[in-house]
Amino acid sequence: MPDDLPDDEEATRIVCLVKNKQPLGATIKRNEVTGEIFIARVIHGGLADRSLLHAGDRIIEVNGFPVDGMEPEQVIQIVSQGTIMFKVIPITERPVHSRTMLYVRAMADYSPQHDPTIPCADAGMSFRKGDILEIVDQTDALWWQAKKLPSSTACAGLIPSSNLLKRQRELWWSQPYQPHACIQTCTTQPSCHARSPSSCQSALNVPYEEVVRYQRHPQDAHRLIALLPSGVGVNELRRRLIEMNPNIFQGAIPTTRVPKGYEESGREYYFTSREIFDNMMYNNFLEYGEYKGNLYGTSIDAVKEVLSSGKICVIDIEPNVRTHELKAYIIYVKPPSLQRFRQTRQHSYITTNYYVNRPFKDEDFQEAQEAARKIECQYWQFFDHVIVNDELQDSCVQLLTAVNRAQDEPQWVPASWIRPN
């Protein structure tokens, strides 16, 4: 160090880095009163972070040019590719990073390129509803830093904080929630609502749902397996699963539908009369609905009975079953392309409100695809697994694999299921 340094000279740090095409991973701001340029935020795992630049450092020079009084845009122009030398006065008291272990499931789609409010679109991270995000920094009340899981990159991206995204509901939450027309949530008993602390409805009011990794203990009850929607073969898949091993798999939905030849009451469904169904409706159902002229219900007690017998309960119903008690694993059965739909269903029969077992028509495929589009808009974020029901045999294998994984391997579940308060 030179001997003649003035006493009041502040300690500076020279940071030299070689920048390729990747972004610097930092944003800068100007103090409007003094004209001084500061590093506003450093993206976790980015180039600036790895080069030991910190939020709050004051930039004095870039490549030998003094930057005080410059517009931030002018500074950015100097920071192009190649070797960059920053002379900075390091921030004296670095804020303690609130590095939290927070994982969330996104309930909305987000694209930084379409967000006029983001401080730097290049530093932003896009996500789709249903994506699991690791929130690595919540220091800023408006802009969090996150990584999308499973993540191969070390570098985080900017995303709107929960509060900010909530305020931008119209912009990002393009599909407001509309309950399925034929399913009515049971309102006759207030306890029905209390039974579903983390149902879809409550999760739809927050932009991010906190999640944790959960693995069922071998001695715990099995997770409920819910297949949806109707019309793409869920009935057939469920039936085949149960048929494969009726000692392990069982259904638990009361219905007023007449059993098909191969069905047994208490195995695929509980076949019951309208009078008994009506009585059950008032004290036993989480939800119920009419489908093709027959009533179906989610009887919480029937599901619990199957689970407490040690079996795996498989139902086909709307995903209102997201409760900490049942820890439902939701499998979405998606229609294949129109062409594959036609090919695979050539020898299959459909039952509608008016016909029992008639061949499939093009309208049926179009209707199923339209219904799937709507279901995806409303519920995609809640699906734990997606099976495209193309080749039936193939779908059965996929279903069995998914069901086993749900029971025996760690999965993301709402945090409220594990710590209800």
Ligand X SMILES: Nc1ncnc2c1ncn2[C@@H]1O[C@H](COP(=O)(O)OP(=O)(O)OP(=O)(O)O)[C@@H](O)[C@H]1O
**One character per residue 35-74, x = contact with ligand X (rule: CB under 6 A):** ----------------------------------------
| Residue 102 near residue 161, CB atoms below 8 Å | no
Compute φ and ψ for 240, nearest 5 degrees. Answer: -65, -35
3-state secondary structure of 242: helix
- Closer to ligand X by CB, 160 or 289: give it: 289
Cβ 288 to ligand X shortest distance, Å? 15
Name the residue among 82, 67, 91 with its Cα closest to residue 12. Answer: 91
Q: How far is the CB of 236 from ligand X (least distance, A)?
A: 3
Query: Binding mask 195-234 vs ligand X (x if CB under 6 A, - otherwise)?
Result: -----------------------------------xxxxx
Which of 246/310 has CB closer to ligand X? 246
Residue 320, burial from CB neighbour count under 10 angstroms (0-12, 13-18, 19+): buried
Nearer to ligand X, 177 or 349 (CB): 349
Q: Using CB under 6 A, which residues numbered 324 to 363 contact ligand X?
A: 344-345, 348-351
Can you name the residues that pair with 133 across neighbouring β-strands? 104, 148
The one among 389, 398, 407, 411 contacting ligand X by CB under 6 A: 389
86: tokens are: 């920053």
Q: Cβ closer to ligand X: 51 or 235?
A: 235
Q: Which one of 132, 377, 392, 400 is in contact with ligand X (CB under 6 A)? A: 392
Closer to ligand X at the Cβ: 128 or 361? 361
- The residues, ordered by sequence, that sit 6+ positions from 404 with a Cβ below 8 Å of its Cβ are none
CA distance 287 to 51: 56
Nearer to ligand X among residue 161 and residue 230 (C-beta): 230
Residue written as tokens 């909530």? 166
Cα(156)–Cα(133) distance, integer angstroms: 10
Q: Which two tokens stand for residue 19?
A: 């920048």
Q: How many CB atoms lie within 10 A of CB 317?
A: 27
| Phi, psi (deg, nearest 5) at residue 291 | -140, 125
The Cα–Cα gap between 328 and 224 comes to 4
Q: How long a stretch of residues is the chain? A: 421
Q: Which of 161, 235, 407, 416 binds ligand X (CB under 6 A)?
A: 235
**Smallest distance from ligand X to CB 200, Å:** 20
Give the nearest distance from C-beta 387 to ligand X in angstroms: 10
Which tokens belong to 164?
């900010």
Query: CB of residue 296 vs ligand X: minimum separation in angstroms?
Result: 9
CB of 249 to ligand X, least distance (A): 16
Q: By CB under 6 A, is residue 283 in contact with ligand X? A: no
Closest to ligand X by CB, 58 or 239 = 239
Residues that bind ligand X (CB under 6 A): 230-236, 344-345, 348-351, 389, 392, 395
